């Protein structure tokens, strides 16, 4: 690469999510050459992905091309490729399509994907929500269900078509369930002639004794109240034991039961990226049970002060009882910290261990309600939602002026509309789907896994 700065230390960042991108941006004034590698050409604003899945926003509304974000940052370049292996002794990365990439310092920020806890066969029936393709597949299933119900003369089948099960009562599950209930009971009511969409059932399953388990109890209760008002039926202490043939088998407390549901959405588990296992192989880095890399207080890997892990792939156990949660603010702060550490290190200085400054947690429940725990204050209802909107707009426009999203939101808010409810990507109207991208990707992961085991 004919880069005039090639004599500078080369910082390679893998993954253009919140962790990787904040690291890259924070290195803008440092005397380094930065290469950001991602297999996608855009940064995805994942906290809003559920709005794509439920037809409020388009993928481009919440995605910023990485090259545009880093266009003006002259010490940075973007490489569209997939890292398949790391050689920490030779300090280089092996990528899928191009030549090997040498690094002086490495920041790994590859996050994670869905976790079916050993039941990967559930994926076809119950897709998760991590990628743009996942969101479009969810959108296709949700809106196709109403179309199929409109034509279905058999009452039991019609009810199954109008039954939506969301597995997992964390923020994503809560936001999905609330949005689907609103679609069924408000948005599309006037659009169908033969089917009464207000009869749709939306169920939210959670294994713990309340939804939003990491939140304060009062907020869990508020969220539950809001969701129930929207018509969501919440089942806590409920574990899914099987998903097949559009039927969910579950255990609610001691009671086993089944429900027929055409649309089953998975928001329950997150699995660390396979790069965790690559790091384990090449550096001996310790992994936790979810496959996350247990990092040092400065986010480096033990014995490898030139390799850092940030974001959802990192298990940072040095603060509080549990590792830091896999949320955007943690990833951002970790990315910024590592950039600062590298900059100081090049000046021969050291900095204090990483400390996460908790800005709080929020989740939307319905069109204009949310729950928010800001540490100093807990709130719910419209005001919490307003804070949610302001915070999300602030971060959304940081990389890329997504002015249009605000206008789209304002418009949706006024009209209760969902202009992006297109059913795309499949010819068959409601054929069972293969979730082609994820499936392929998992195949790649499995192959790599096998290779790792072999090597």
Give the footprint of a copy of itself on residues 129-158 (CB under 8 A).
Answer: 132-133, 143-144, 147-148, 150-151, 153
φ, ψ for residue 389 (rounded to 5)?
A: -60, -50
**From residue 18 to residue 57, what is the string marking binding to a copy of itself with x (rule CB under 8 A)?**
---------------------xxxx---------------
Q: Is 175 a catalytic residue?
A: yes
Hey, which residues does 114 pair with through a beta bridge? 270
What is the closest distance, in whole angstroms, from the C-beta atom of residue 275 to a copy of itself in the complex?
16
CB-CB neighbours of 174 under 10 Å? 32
Question: 248 near 165, Cβ under 8 Å?
Answer: yes
Least distance to a copy of itself, CB of residue 101, Å: 11
Would you say 66 or 109 has its CB closer to a copy of itself? 66
Is 71 an interacting residue with respect to a copy of itself (CB under 8 A)?
yes
Residue 438 CA to chain centroid, in angstroms?
A: 14
Site for a copy of itself in 105-124 (CB under 8 A): none
Q: Name which of residues 236 to 265 contact a copy of itself (CB under 8 A).
A: none
- List Cβ neighbours of 257 (8 Å cut-off, separation of 6 or more): 249, 250, 251
Which of 175, 334, 336, 441 is labelled catalytic?
175
188 binds a copy of itself, rule: CB under 8 A: yes
One residue of 229, 440, 446, 450 binding a copy of itself per CB under 8 A: 440
- CB of 1 or CB of 359, closer to a copy of itself: 1
Which whole-number Å values give the CA distances from 362 to 79, 103, 198, 377, 383, in the listed order? 34, 38, 28, 12, 12
CA-to-CA distance for 444 and 450, rounded, in angstroms?
A: 10
How would you write 33-51 as a 3-class SS string? EEEEEECCCEEECHHHHHH
Residues 389-408 that bind a copy of itself (CB under 8 A): 400-404, 407-408
Phi, psi of 341 (to 5 degrees): -60, -45
Quote the CA–CA distance of 49 and 187 in Å, as a whole number.
Answer: 19
Which residues of the shown chain bind a copy of itself in the complex (CB under 8 A)?
1-3, 39-42, 58-61, 63-65, 67-68, 71-72, 77-82, 96-99, 132-133, 143-144, 147-148, 150-151, 153, 188, 190-194, 400-404, 407-408, 411, 415, 417, 419-427, 429-430, 437, 440-441, 444
């Amino acid at each position: 690469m004919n880069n005039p700065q090639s004599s500078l230390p080369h910082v390679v960042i893998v993954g253009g999510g919140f962790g990787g991108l904040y690291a890259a941006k924070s290195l803008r004034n440092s005397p380094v050459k930065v290469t950001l590698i991602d297999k996608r050409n855009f940064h995805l604003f994942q906290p809003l992905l559920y709005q794509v899945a439920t037809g409020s926003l388009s993928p481009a509304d919440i995605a910023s091309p990485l090259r545009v974000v880093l266009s003006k940052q002259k010490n940075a370049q973007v490489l569209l490729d997939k890292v398949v292996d790391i050689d920490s002794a030779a300090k280089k990365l092996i990528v899928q399509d191009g030549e090997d990439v040498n690094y002086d310092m490495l920041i790994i920020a590859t996050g994670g994907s869905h976790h079916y806890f050993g039941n990967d066969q559930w994926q076809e029936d119950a897709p998760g929500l991590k990628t743009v393709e996942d969101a479009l597949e969810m959108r296709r299933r949700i809106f196709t269900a109403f179309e199929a119900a409109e034509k279905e003369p058999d009452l039991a089948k019609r009810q199954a078509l109008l039954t939506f099960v969301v597995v997992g009562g964390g923020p994503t599950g809560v936001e999905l369930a609330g949005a689907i209930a609103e679609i069924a009971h408000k948005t599309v009511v006037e659009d169908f002639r033969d089917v009464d969409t207000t009869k749709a059932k939306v169920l939210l399953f959670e294994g713990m004794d309340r939804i939003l388990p990491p939140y304060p109890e009062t907020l869990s209760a508020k969220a539950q109240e809001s969701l129930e008002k929207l018509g969501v039926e919440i089942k806590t202490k409920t574990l899914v034991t099987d998903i097949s043939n559009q039927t969910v088998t579950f255990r609610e407390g001691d009671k086993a039961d089944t429900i027929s549901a055409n649309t089953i959405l998975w928001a329950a588990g997150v699995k660390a990226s396979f790069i965790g296992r690559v790091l384990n192989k090449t550096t001996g880095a310790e992994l936790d049970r979810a496959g996350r890399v247990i990092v040092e207080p400065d986010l480096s890997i033990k014995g490898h002060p030139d390799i850092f892990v940030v974001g959802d792939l990192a298990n940072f156990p040095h603060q509080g009882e549990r590792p830091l949660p896999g949320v955007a603010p943690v990833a951002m702060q970790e990315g910024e910290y590592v950039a600062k550490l590298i900059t100081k290190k090049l000046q021969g200085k050291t900095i204090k261990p990483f400390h996460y400054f908790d800005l709080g947690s929020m989740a939307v429940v319905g069109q204009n309600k949310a729950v928010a725990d800001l540490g100093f204050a807990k709130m719910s209802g419209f005001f919490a939602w307003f804070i949610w909107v302001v915070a999300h707009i602030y971060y959304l426009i940081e990389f890329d002026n997504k002015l249009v999203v605000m206008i789209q939101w304002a418009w949706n808010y006024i009209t209760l509309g969902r202009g992006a409810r297109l059913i795309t990507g499949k010819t068959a109207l409601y054929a069972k789907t293969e979730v082609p991208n994820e499936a392929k990707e998992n195949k790649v992961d499995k192959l790599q896994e096998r290779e790792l085991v072999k090597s």
